[in-house]
Amino acid sequence: MAKPVFILNGPNLNMLGTREPDIYGAETLDDIRANCSQRAKQLGLPIDIRQTNIEGELVEWVQQARGQASGIIINAAAYTHTSVALLDALKACDVPVIEVHLSNVYKRESFRHKSFVSPAAHGVICGFGGQGYLFALEAMASILSSDNQ
């Protein structure tokens, strides 16, 4: 059986739908999970969706991906802008990484313009709400397909 794509979510994403809906929308993390599961099934990709508010746990999941996942789709949330530990883990994981953000970080505060995830990512998708995860799944399917040829 193929290794799953890890879809990793960082702090406060468990509060989607109620936290700053003017920025993040009304969609919940459960809605995103359901949509990702449906799209991944259509693409023939097994997925493993996780969320944590703890930086170290997110780093451990990235480390696990090295042997257990075919790729990582990550919305590191606030850790995107602060975590060198996460960057180091992503650089060492040896699987394709796609960075996702619900909002357009470049329309927001300037501190959000710096990403510690981006140097390890194949690409970045931001500003499309939950649909960005679906775009990331399609991109990951393409990356994995071209890697297997």
Active-site annotation, residues: 24, 101
Q: Do residues 5 and 71 touch, judged by C-beta distance below 8 A?
A: yes
Q: What size, in residues, is the chain?
A: 149
Give yes or no for a contact between 73 and 6, defined as CB atoms under 8 angstroms apart. Answer: yes
Read off the amino acid at residue 110. S
Amino acid at the residue 45: L
Nearest-10 Cα torsion for 45, 139, 13, 120: 110
Cα-only R_g, the chain: 14
Task: Enumerate the β-bridge partners of residue 125.
Answer: 100
Structure-block tokens of residue 127: 């500003």
